[in-house]
Amino acid sequence: MTYTGKVQNGVVVLDNGADLAEGTTVRVEPVEAAANQAPDADLFSAGRRAVATGQPDLATNLDHHLYGHPKADDGRN
């Protein structure tokens, strides 16, 4: 069964007077993005999470590094 509701003063209040037994474990997930966060905010912060891999040909040979496929020639060899 799925219930809907809203957060009011830091507490989830279920719609339509839904009554769950005390101690019932529930899963809560937002239906819409928070008003102060752009829907693509994670995309814009991807560069800040990038790390050096030591693989200068990683983009060209991703399948080689992940799955062992033969290396592709990117024309820089």
pLDDT tens readout for residues 59-77? 899 999 999 999 987 666 5
Pairwise CA distance, residues 10 & 52, whole Å: 40
Domain, as residue range, for 47: 5-67
What are the C-alpha distances in Å from 50 to residues 36, 61, 72?
A: 24, 18, 23
Pairwise CA distance, residues 58 & 30, whole Å: 36
At residue 5, the pLDDT reads 87
Within a domain: 25: yes
Structurally, how many domains does the chain consist of?
1
Within a domain: 55: yes
Within a domain: 53: yes
Over residues 3-31, the pLDDT tens digits come to 888 888 988 888 887 888 999 898 888 88
